[in-house]
Structure 1
Amino acid sequence: MPFVDIFSKSEKKGKPIIRPKIIVDTREKNSLIASELMRLQCDVEFQHLGIGDYIVKDTVIERKTISDFLGSMLNKRLVKQLKNMQPLKSKFLIIEGIDEHELYHSESHINENAIRGFLLSIILNFKIPIIYTKDYADTAKFLIVLAKKPTKEQESGINDKPKPRDVKEQLQYILEGFPGIGPKTARKLLEEFGTLKEIINTPIEKLEKLIGKKAESFKLSDKKYN
């Protein structure tokens, strides 16, 4: 009598593989990080992001290599990016390729204490955490760990199997981080402009025609902390 494997069907079915979802700005499409994320079987979606380079769940991440960080420190570009991120509920800055010698003794000739002061300002004034990574592969792994990390509700046993948020819900959640912007207003803005980038870059006067005085919230992007 031939042997019949009665378990073969159940073994083949198994549990569906859940791929970590990570939204990547289109400017990062050809980066080593994007390639690494796809190599590691992540669900990568490219979007035009007005704020940050990556969105994982509800967290916005800005990434800078050492040279990018020092360069944008000098030309003040990073300060503007940090101001845009500041009102958001969940965000952090990645500084990639960190090495003490490279950071403080680069060809930029920036005073060491000026660099230290700027790092402290990011954490204390802008309230933005900083994560240091070794290289692009390390950065990719941080993003994946974040994507797999349980939410507070899951950790506490509440809503153990929540429905994964799609891109629309994630973008809406980020907009709701601005003061006075609720779900209805966030949806209205996204339906009108399509992307975070378009909303942030739209003149306040035009936003006021659509959502009234609530548009004042977006002036935070241009205000100085000190």
Structure 2
Amino acid sequence: MKPFYNIFSSKKVPETKVKILIDNREKNSLVPSFLEERGFQVEFKQLPVADYIVKEIAIERKTVSDLKSSIISKRIISQLLELKQYPKHLLLVEGILDEDLYNSGIHENALRGFLLSVALEFQTPLIFTHNEEDTAKYIYVLAKKEKPSEFSLRASKILLSKEEQIQFILEGFPNIGPAKASALIKKFKTLNNIFQASEEELEEILGKRAKEFRELLD
């Protein structure tokens, strides 16, 4: 039973702390500590999706180096798909001032194209922060901005056929739209076959873009 508060009493009604669910892997980060300092109730769990859940909003937090390595390993694709299971979600990239985003094995324009695909194809908002404290401040503002809601660890499932899933992943790559994605699926059948295809084989469909696509995968 919820406690009853007399609205005519001069006593101050205790304010309920906002709870933030945090994935266990974030325990080594300073972000949870900064959030606790700001009065939030943090609870660590093994989250199936995202690193932080704030009032039904899923947040995937990545440092600049995490982002680059996850692009190279292609892990970012599955993470973005999982993130979209939450109607409200965002990708937060931390450390933009401390580390050069473009100083990596990924071509600068390929990286720019990928970030544009995150925003346009995956329809996932991107937030860039300076450091862990700045990240905590963004989460603080977000938590104060959003209306309260009950937590759910069970994200709403996106029901896509196998071919639709493959097409969705392919359209996340720079310069690959629906037509080229469909052509790749028609020729190679599976995602594994596409990723294993040589530059020469990819050129039949992607033309000059085949080299850029191949470089993202290697």
Bin of the TM-score, shorter chain as denominator length: 0.5 to 0.7
Q: Which residue of 1 aligns with 2:12?
A: 14
- C-alpha contact (below 8 Å) 1:66/1:103 kept by paired residues: yes
Q: Which residue of 1 aligns with 2:139?
A: 143
SS where residue 92 of structure 2 aligns? strand
Q: Which residue of 2 aligns with 1:201?
A: none
Query: Which runs of structure 2 are paired with 1:8-87 in the superposition (5 Å)?
Result: 10=10, 13-87=11-85
Cα 1:221–1:56 change in 2 (3 A) is farther
- 1:178 maps onto 2:157 in alignment: yes
AA at the equivalent of 2:126: I
Q: Which residue of 2 aligns with 1:125?
A: 121
Q: Which residue of 2 aligns with 1:194?
A: none
Match of 2:90 among 86, 92, 103: 92
TM superposition shift of 1:88: 2.5
Cα 1:132–1:120 change in 2 (3 A) is same
TM superposition shift of 1:223: 3.9
Cα 1:218–1:27 change in 2 (3 A) is farther
Please give the root-mean-square deviation of Cα atoms over the aligned residues, in Å: 2.5
Cα 1:218–1:114 change in 2 (3 A) is same
What is the CA–CA distance in structure 2 between the aligned matches of 1:26 and 1:110, rounded to whole Å? 30
- C-alpha contact (below 8 Å) 2:51/2:61 kept by paired residues: yes
TM superposition shift of 1:97: 1.2
Give deviations 1:97-131, integer Å, cap 9, x for gaps.
11397112x2x232110110110110111111101
TM-score (norm 2): 0.66
AA at the equivalent of 1:134: H
TM superposition shift of 1:79: 1.1
TM-score (norm 1): 0.64
What is the CA–CA distance in structure 2 between the aligned matches of 1:119 and 1:86, rounded to whole Å? 16
- Structure 2: 5+ residue runs without aligned partners? 1-8, 171-218
- C-alpha contact (below 8 Å) 1:21/1:147 kept by paired residues: no
Give deviations 1:169-199, integer Å, cap 9, x for gaps.
x224xx3x324xxxxxxxxxxxxxxxxxxxx
What is the CA–CA distance in structure 2 between the aligned matches of 1:31 and 1:220, rounded to whole Å? 38
Give the paired residue count.
161
Give deviations 1:123-181, integer Å, cap 9, x for gaps.
11111110111110111111111111143xxxxxxxxxxxx5444xx224xx3x324xx
- C-alpha contact (below 8 Å) 2:55/2:150 kept by paired residues: no
- 1:116 maps onto 2:103 in alignment: no
SS where residue 91 of structure 2 aligns? strand
